[in-house]
Structure 1
Amino acid sequence: MKAGRIVIYLLLFSGCSINYIDRVVLSVAAHPIAQEFGLSTVQLGYLFSAFLWTYLIFVLPWGMLVDRIGTKRSTAWGMAIWSFATVLTGVSGGFGSAILSRLLMGFGEASTYPAGARTIREWMPARERGFATTVFNCGGYAGPAIGSILMGTLVSAMGWRGGFFVSAAIGFGWMLIWLIAYRSPEKARYIGDEERAMILAERGGSAQASASAPLSALLRCTSLWGLFIVQGCAVYTVYLFLSWLPSYLQSAHGLSVLKTGFYTAVPYAVAVPGTIFMGWLSDRLLRNAPVNSGRRRNMVALLLLCSACILVTPLVHNTFVVLALFSFSLTSIGSTVGLNIALLSDLLPNPANTGRAHGFLVTGGNLFGVLAPIATGYVVSFTGSYSAAFVIAGILLVVGATVCLTMTRKPIAPATASGDVQISTTSGANV
């Protein structure tokens, strides 16, 4: 791999990691926050999910904005907004102000995946797309792994507010680096002419030159709805872990806040190399098949079934065995989310539709994801146990695997007003 694309990989990975560090601070600090504000388990569930409400509403508009103004400005704006919101969470004085700050955070974070998907489509050859997407997405596991340890230490040493302030400072620092370093492959000076020519020839068309389809046309494609449901079933489990894993370990296994930070980091740390490997393996298995064949769906479905191993969580009581189970499940689900995004790009002939199509996909994920913290809060409140919460997530994963194999079998190529199928206005876009 050439040095130019390594720069983009590092920016994608680190940006997504910071996104999730900012999310996990609240999970790690939940116990002292609940004590200070007098919050119930149900109120915590709403606080955990609050950022997803605005995330869900604005991810599709952000996707359209990414298609309009490009990745550089949209990514910087998003990072600035959610970092500022993280500061506001640190100065909140109660449940109401904390909710408002998390709503602002969700608005800013909604830019992340549409902008990241657009960056990958512009920078990465199609044969490298699965690997690139999983590297980007596994930032969502490196973030909690690093954040759980870092924020657990900071919260124990500085109080819960200090964790939010440090997290916000990291975000603002990254934004400056992004503004200085990021350029499109057409303009980047840190890549050679040979690498530039290869990227432009093999990425699947020029996203700048193609004509995009209206969202209403994309929504008539069955495969897009199938990917939407798959993403939702997968992301439900992601947010179950992200929101409630620290509280589960403290409640069910009697761990302290500091020890919870280290134990929470284990499954995420395992998932980082695991998801990267699965992305590489997916590309390798498809090396002799046309990218637009959609054969990546088979690995997506298999990994969903692997992640459904959390169905046996209620039967396991040893802390280390639980961590091993969660590590396997998180590795599988992290790979699923990344490869499902790559599958969308595989099935999307026209790269000019990337931002809005991925915005719709992420909307599906977060439509389910927003329910996970709230539903889990009610389940734990009513049953006094986390068992049913893991069973619900496992059933959704099995449903997602079934949908993936049955509903994602056609290209996402919407018909134009004349009845023709839209491919691209540029040569080489049918990849």
Structure 2
Amino acid sequence: MLPNNFRWRIVLLLFLVTTINYIDRNVLSFAMLDDTFRKEMLGVPLTYTLTQADLNAFKIQYGWVDTAFKVAYAVGFMMIGWLIDRVGTKRGLAVAIGLWSMAGIANAFVSSFRGLVATRFVLGIGEAGNFPSSIKSIAEWFPKKERSFATGIFNAGANVGIIITAAVIPWMTLHYGWRISFMTTGVLGLGVLVAWWMTYQRPEQHPKVSPVELRYIQQDHQQEVIQGRLTWWRLLRYRQTWALIVGKFMADPIWWFYLTWLPDFFNSSESLDQTLDLQNIGLPFMVIYIISDGGSVFFGWLSSQFMKIGWELNRARKTTMLICALCVVPIFFAAQTQNIYIAVVLIAIAAAGHLGWSANVYTFASDLFPKSAVAMVTGIGGFAGAVGGAVLAAIAGPIRVQFGYLPLFLIAGSSYLLALFIINLLVPKMKPVEM
């Protein structure tokens, strides 16, 4: 008898949570194109005409705001990953959603870079709870052979959030002002908090899960016997943990770079034959993130499909990750071409490769560790990714001002292949840890 499919409804719920998560965090990337926002953050009169020196100063200050968010995101991963493994997925993610939603609303009331640093720091703490919770939920609700596909689906919510942001926020900012944009997206988060709290339970406790589906979900769950106390320092003794750290530290900063700086790239790149502003920037972003959404789902499916036809976990995950890494390599041409359409396609393929990479790297936690350690391990990996993102954020502004986008795109194109090489050295054969 085939299982019913209630577990896929859980994936759709995680998809919705992730979508709202990315809407909240990406409003700022489009607000930074608004002259009123720039002037208020710089503390100059609204009638003042910004000079190029003002814009360069704004970009450098914006880089520090982005750094504050990523530092908080790193700290939040460690804190909330630990919290989730102790209070459970339902309560842990509820706390995170509430925190990031209130911080998102607070963004609407700031009037300086100092205030923006404070609200973005709190936003980073809260938003860090999304992925540890989601990965732990996938481990609770899916057998290993379906996890990368399920992860690819909910991870696609990141791009849907960006697509919605690109389609709506520029229009909303132009017509109602940047403060309303932040207020609206923060309220959406409170709405999804209600949906999460009313819907989520573990599969063995959920009244809508049949005994057949429960057996299917738990087909390869091992009896967990973890001797001693589970701590971050203990997890760092395992090569498998370091493989996840490398996969996140070297790839996540590139994704953060896309989210933070692509609006500016299309708005002010010296190489492109045309530039975009708030009135016409939405369409290219929709194209980029629709294509990359396909990459998240396809590469998650591909890894699962390899396992279904008999490939071992090690071969299936690493082959898929190699294909994803190769998709990113050509992105440095985007900083050299004059044709904006070619730049959009190159960035879209690279973003698709990243989301496919992310869908497979995130499964390391549930592939290689007991369920009771999944959120903590994911938190450690997320911490590493956010630290890498903070480092790149701190240097991206000065590099952009001094040298343009080519050095940043060269970093993006080479990071994934180097990460895969190091991962293979650390874990030549992917095997679950014995704790």
- TM-score, length-scaled by structure 1: 0.91
Q: Secondary structure at the match of 1:370?
A: helix
Partner of 2:286: 265
Aligned-partner Cα distance in 1 for 2:350–2:198: 37
- Aligned-partner SS, 1:286: helix
AA aligned to 2:301 is W
In structure 1, stretches of 5+ residues that fail to align are 415-420, 423-431
Q: Give CA deviations for 1:76-107 in whole Å, capped at 9, x if unaligned.
A: 11000001001111110111111100000011
- Aligned partners of 1:297 and 1:407: how far apart in 2? 13
Pairwise CA distance, 1:46 = 1.4
Distance 1:60 1:328 in 2: 31
Matched with 2:212 is: 194
Aligned-partner SS, 1:152: helix
| Greater displacement, 155-164 / 255-264 | 255-264
Matched, 1:71 2:92: no
Say which of 366, 391, 395 aligns to 2:410: 391
Q: Does 1:380 align with 2:390?
A: no
| Equivalent residue, structure 2, for 1:37 | 41
Cα drift, residue 294 of structure 1: 5.9
Distance 2:407 2:293 in 1: 27
| Rounded Cα–Cα distance in structure 2 between residues aligned with 1:242 and 1:293 | 31
1:9-42 CA deviation, whole Å, 9 max, x = no partner? Answer: 1111111111111111000111222232225210
Given that 1:15 and 1:174 are in contact with CA atoms closer than 8 Å, whether structure 2 keeps it comes out as yes
Deviation at 1:304, TM superposition (A): 1.5
- Structure 1: how far apart are the matches of 2:381 and 2:170? 32
Residue 42 of structure 1 aligns to a residue whose secondary structure is helix
Q: What TM-score, normalized to structure 2?
A: 0.90
1:287 paired to 2:311: no
Tell me if structure 2 keeps the 8 A contact 1:301–1:400.
Answer: no
Q: Supply the AA of the counterpart residue of 2:244.
A: L
Please say if 1:351 is aligned against 2:371.
yes
Q: Which consecutive residues of structure 2, in runs of 5 or more, have no partner in the other structure?
A: 43-56
- Deviation for aligned residue 1:189: 1.6
Q: Determine the C-alpha separation between the residues in 2 that align with 1:249 and 1:102.
A: 24
Q: Which amino acid aligns with 1:20?
A: Y
Within 2, Cα distance between the matches of 1:192 and 1:116? 22
Aligned to 1:163: 181
2:345 maps to 324
Question: Once the two structures are aligned, what percentage of the paired residues are identical?
Answer: 26
Aligned positions of 1:15-414 closer than 5 A: 15-32=17-34, 33-38=37-42, 40-202=58-220, 204-205=221-222, 213-252=230-269, 253-289=274-310, 293=314, 295-348=316-369, 350-383=370-403, 385-411=404-430
8 Å CA contact 2:302–2:320 kept in 1: the answer is no
Q: Whole-Å Cα distance in 2 between the matches of residues 259 and 150 of structure 1?
A: 12
Q: What do the CA deviations read for 1:156-192 (whole angstroms, capped 9, x no partner)?
A: 1111111101101110000001111111101112222
What is the distance in 2 between the residues matched to 1:316 and 1:402?
29
What letter corresponds to residue 38 of structure 2 in structure 1?
A: A
Residue 301 of structure 1 contacts residue 404 of structure 1 at CA under 8 Å; is this kept in 2?
no
Inter-CA distance 285–123: structure 2 relative to 1 (3 Å threshold): same
Match of 2:54 in 1: none
